[in-house]
């Protein structure tokens, strides 16, 4: 009885997981469409628009990667956070205090350093391979 419960609960959670991933992908595609429509409506492309589209692209890539491998690389959300901070800095720099600009720059450097450390760890200290 316990194994049947475990089997069905695992399958149910996987189904919910895939459903939510589908919702995230569809919502991201809608957001991309809205941004492209906005670009055509305004008649020009700003750097902030490109960075926002890049964030959406990274979200789609993260969903695709998760669906393909079943694993979510920690680096992908970090990349999204770096681009989001850069976009925030570009959009609101004129209205920010010097300390806020420095704080965002330091946060970006910390995130970039984290990506480098994670990548170094993957290369130099890989997980041991599990033999079947």
Structure confidence by residue, pLDDT tens digits, 92-123: 888 999 999 999 999 999 999 999 999 998 88
* Confidence category of residue 132, pLDDT binned at 50, 70, 90: low
* Confidence category of residue 91, pLDDT binned at 50, 70, 90: confident
pLDDT digits (tens, 9 = 90+) for 20-51: 999 999 999 999 999 999 999 999 999 889 98
Q: Which of the pair, 7 or 34, is modelled with greater confidence?
A: 34
Taking the CA atoms of residue 122, residue 127, residue 131 and residue 132 in that order, the dihedral angle to the nearest 10 degrees is: -90
46-67: average pLDDT: 91
* Confidence category of residue 131, pLDDT binned at 50, 70, 90: low
Q: Is residue 78 a contact partner of residue 111, using CB atoms and an 8 Å limit?
A: yes
Instruction: Give CA 72 to chain center in angstroms.
Output: 10
pLDDT for 1 equals 58
Global pTM? 0.76
Cα(32)–Cα(17) distance, integer angstroms: 23
Torsion over CA: 54, 55, 57, 62 (sign): positive
Domain boundaries, the chain: 1-70, 73-131
Per-residue b or e along 26-36, where b marks 16 or more CB atoms closer than 10 Å to that residue's CB: eebeeebeebe
Cα(56)–Cα(31) distance, integer angstroms: 8
From residue 40, how far is each of 33, 34, 49, 109, 110 by CA, in Å?
11, 10, 11, 34, 36
Cα(16)–Cα(66) distance, integer angstroms: 14
pLDDT > 70? residue 17: yes
Mean pLDDT of the chain: 89
């Amino acid at each position: 009885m316990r194994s049947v419960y475990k089997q069905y609960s695992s399958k149910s959670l996987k189904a919910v997981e895939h459903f939510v991933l589908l919702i995230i992908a569809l919502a991201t595609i809608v957001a991309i469409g809205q941004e492209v429509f906005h670009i055509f409506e305004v008649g020009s492309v700003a750097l902030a628009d490109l960075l926002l589209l890049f964030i959406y692209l990274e979200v789609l890539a993260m969903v695709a990667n998760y669906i393909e491998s079943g694993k979510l690389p920690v680096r992908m959300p970090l990349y999204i956070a770096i681009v989001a901070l850069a976009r925030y800095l570009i959009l609101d720099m004129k209205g920010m205090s010097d300390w806020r600009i420095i704080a965002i720059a330091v946060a970006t450097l910390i995130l970039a350093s984290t990506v480098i450390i994670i990548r170094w760890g993957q290369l130099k200290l890989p997980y041991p391979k599990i033999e079947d």
